[in-house]
Amino acid sequence: MDVRALESTIARIPGVENVRVVLENQKPREVHVLALPGKPAKQLVRDVQSVAMAAFDLDLDRRIISVVQIEGGELSSGDRPVVDDVAEEIDGSRMRISVTLHWHDEKLTGSAQGPAASTTRMRLVAEATLAALEQALDDNAAFAVSAEAVHRVGALDVAIAQVVLVMGGRERMMVGSALVGSDPSQAMVRAVLDAVNRQVPGLRRP
């Protein structure tokens, strides 16, 4: 399906500022909606369902639609990076993970290397995500992965990332999470982005 067309159509709903649809097997698995306050979140969810059905003959389960409402002016469309690709290259006992992000019509790619072990993969994914982000951020801001894990919560696996930001001699600890679907690596990228997304727009280089 044309996910970009779906996102742009949902974004035309009054009060909606930005939309991100996550696919699994070419079907929407998560629909994230950023909206202005005023309209009840339940009404926004119903509006999203109605638009998807009317325009795409797509029956969206309300449980996959999440709505966040913020005051106008805090965040504009495109102010948060999103994952574009995660690639893996193995050379003997070493592994290289590359993460590509899309932000403000720019692609940012970062990489991290380490042992080709299943226990280190998620850490390398998280570090590669920060390496991609740092290409566009203020040199005075230093990010590092403090901890990462994938845990079972109820019937679902959840990727969790703890990231530390050091700037101006001060430390700030941030935690993000994302549901794991068919690709745990992409979930870890989204968890890292979830941890830092409130900070990075203000740190982007002009």
In DSSP terms, 113 is beta-bridged to 96
pLDDT value of position 79: 67
Rounded Cα gap, residues 10 and 20, in angstroms: 10
74 domain residue, yes or no? no
The CA distances from residue 135 to 16, 81, 115, 124, in Å, are 30, 12, 24, 17
Asked whether residue 94 falls in the same domain as residue 188, the answer is: yes
User: What is the reported pTM?
Assistant: 0.64
DSSP per residue, 71-89: -TTS--TT-S-EEEEEEEE
pLDDT in tens, 154-195: 778 899 999 999 988 899 999 999 888 778 999 999 999 989
Asked whether residue 95 falls in the same domain as residue 182, the answer is: yes
Q: Is the pLDDT of residue 29 over 50?
A: yes
Nearest to 3 by CA among 32, 26, 33, 25: 26
Segments forming the whole domain that contains residue 93: 82-203
* CATH number of the CATH domain containing 44: 3.30.70.1350
Rounded Cα gap, residues 100 and 96, in angstroms: 13
